[in-house]
Every structure is written in C-alpha cells, then in structure tokens.
Amino acid sequence: MAKVSAIQVAILYGLLISSVFGRSNDDDSCGWMSYVAGGLVGVGAVMVAPVVLPALGFTSAGVAASSIAAAIQTSATASGSAFALAQSAGAAGLGLGTKAAIGGAASYVGHKVYKSVKGCDKPSCEKDRD
C-alpha cells in the first residue's frame, strides 16, 4: 500500500497556506475558512486514497473477486477510463501527479461545498455582512 510521505504532506500544506493567504479578497463573505476547509478536504483525500482503493477492490494483484470494483468492471472498460486509472493506482500506488490531481479536485469540491453549506455562494451574503 502506498503511503504519503511527510515531505509530500508538507508540500501540500505549503500550497494550502499560500492559497489561503495569497488570496485576500474582502468581498469573499466566507473569508479564509472556505479555503482552509477545501485544503483539509484535499489533504484528507490524498491521505485516504491508498486505503480506499484496496477496500473497493483495486489491489496490486488486480481487481479483487466479489468486490465493488469487480461489480462495476465490464468487458468494455476503456484504457484511460476512471476504472482503469483506479486500477492502475491500486496496483502501482499513487504518483505525485495523481496525488496533486486528487488533492486539487477534492480541495475545489471542499471549498465549494463549504461555501454552499454556509450560504456564502449567494449574492445576498455580501449585503448582510457587517
């Protein structure tokens, strides 16, 4: 099972901090917390991916029998598809580029979900702010 090294986490954390403090937009009613939430989701996703993939059935020996991966695998699984990428990551581990892609996508989703839950994505938030 692939593990995220302390150096990789430090790099991701540095990117998180630079994105939080590098953006000082006073019109953002959620402030820096939405970026922190997104960053935490991104780092969390990178750290749990090596655990989740084998649990779903994407193992180093191939697709595990009677697993979720086996249930969704078809004979028409195309090269480059999400299934093929998950199997590749399960077999060979996650490369730094894959970790960056997972972290970036999860960070974006976490940021947007935080803003949506807090109601900061509505134009009326700007008027209600003190």
pLDDT tens digits, the chain, 130 residues: what are they? 456 665 666 666 666 655 555 554 545 557 778 888 888 888 888 888 888 889 999 988 889 999 999 898 887 778 878 888 888 888 888 887 778 888 888 888 888 888 888 877 665 554 445 4
Q: In terms of C-beta density within 10 A (0-12 exposed, 13-18 middle, 19 or more buried), how is residue 27 classed?
A: exposed
How far is it, in rounded angstroms, from Cα 1 to Cα 29? 41
- Predicted TM-score (pTM) of the model is 0.61
Task: Look at residue 128 and tell me if it is in a domain.
Answer: no
N-term to C-term CA, the chain: 49
Task: Look at residue 129 and tell me if it is in a domain.
Answer: no
* Angle between helix 33-56 and 6-21 (nearest 10): 150
Domain that holds residue 54: 6-122
pLDDT recorded at residue 37: 83
Task: Look at residue 112 and tell me if it is in a domain.
Answer: yes
Task: Look at residue 62 and tell me if it is in a domain.
Answer: yes
pLDDT recorded at residue 67: 92
Q: How many domains does the chain have?
A: 1
Amino acid letter at 105? A
Task: Look at residue 127 and tell me if it is in a domain.
Answer: no
Amino acid letter at 73? Q
CA dihedral 10→35→47→99, nearest 10 degrees, is -80
How far is it, in rounded angstroms, from Cα 55 to Cα 67? 8
Task: Look at residue 26 and tell me if it is in a domain.
Answer: yes
pLDDT recorded at residue 130: 46
pLDDT recorded at residue 18: 55
Task: Look at residue 77 and tell me if it is in a domain.
Answer: yes
Task: Look at residue 130 and tell me if it is in a domain.
Answer: no
